[in-house]
Amino acid sequence: MATGELAMMTEPATGHLLGSFPYVRVGNGPRRLVVIPGFGDSMFGGSYPPAARVFLGSYFHRFTDEYTIHLISRPRKLPDNYAIDDATEQYGQILDEISTPVDILGISMGGFIAQELAARYPELVEQLVVTSSGTRVVDSGRPTVERWKAYAEKHRWFQIRSELATDLYSGSDWRRYLFPSTIQTAGRFVFPRPAVPTDVSRSLDAILKYDGTSTLEDVEADTFVIGGSNDLFFPDTILQETADGIPSATVFSIQGAKHGAFDERKRLHDGNVKAFLNGHQTVSAN
């Protein structure tokens, strides 16, 4: 079956677009939402099992009546000197396989790519959601990304996952305490290893090199910037800076949340994203 035919089907599906982009599709709504994941995408095996359809359908259940959702990963074997610009070109090709224009939700590193897509291909992007992301990593967060890159070069995956769990969730969230200990023990055997180890360090290097400040003004799509006020990488200041640079953008800061605001405060996050996508003002308060 051709990828174009596959993309037009309405039932859930997994596979590879253009032969190399792992994806999961759920929902049967008439609108289309493309989800671009963060750097953690580089740390899984590169193929989504059938069970991923069930998980994704549950995770995005607030959207599946209105949307057909495509979660599209990056290919494995990223080239040396891989950059956000490269990813943007790749996703531009992917959007040609889906009926456009689409709404796009970019998470963390995926938010970088989503911003660039909206700026470079305005005819393909209807609405843009940038979540737990922004125009650049704040200076105070860069040492952590650099440390993870050093871990990746030594294949210390459990260390990255453990620290990431701590940085995702605030002190009041049980996952902040349970996940690191789990990852350090059983997680060494349960969590998948990267299919291509260099993909992790190259993704982190692309994050460190990216600054999209100069392209924000080229984003024509209505944009919603949302994230946690205490995000180590994209705090309030970056969220506001990003929204200020886009001609038609609003910003919503989830007070007290960290980099995993989209998961830790999921009902609040999803409620506000859905309100934006449906043309309403934010309907949920912190």
pLDDT of residue 92: 93
pLDDT higher at 205 or 157: 205
pLDDT higher at 55 or 86: 86
Residue 270, Cα to own-chain centre: how many angstroms? 14
175-222: per-residue pLDDT in tens?
A: 444 444 333 333 333 456 889 999 999 999 999 999 999 999 999 999
In order of their start, the domains of the chain are 3-140+211-277 (3.40.50.1820), 142-198 (no CATH)
pLDDT of residue 163: 87
Report the candidate in 218, 206, 180, 195 with the shortest Cα–Cα distance to residue 109.
206
Helix ranges (H only) for the chain are 3-8, 51-59, 84-95, 109-120, 142-153, 157-168, 175-184, 187-190, 198-209, 236-245, 261-264, 266-277
Highest mean pLDDT among 6-20, 85-99, 193-207: 193-207
240-283: per-residue pLDDT in tens?
A: 999 999 999 999 999 999 998 998 899 999 999 999 999 877 65
Q: What percent of the chain has pLDDT over 90?
A: 64
133-149: per-residue pLDDT in tens?
A: 999 999 999 999 999 99
pLDDT of residue 264: 86
DSSP 128: E
pLDDT band at 118 (very low <50, low <70, confident <90, very high): very high
129 touches 145 (CB < 8 A): no
pLDDT higher at 174 or 64: 64
| Stretch 161-174: mean pLDDT | 75
Report the candidate in 136, 147, 155 with the shortest Cα–Cα distance to residue 231.
136
46-75: per-residue pLDDT in tens?
A: 888 888 888 888 899 999 999 999 999 999
DSSP 172: T
pLDDT of residue 283: 59
Measured between alpha carbons, how far is residue 239 from residues 67, 135, 259 in Å?
A: 26, 8, 12
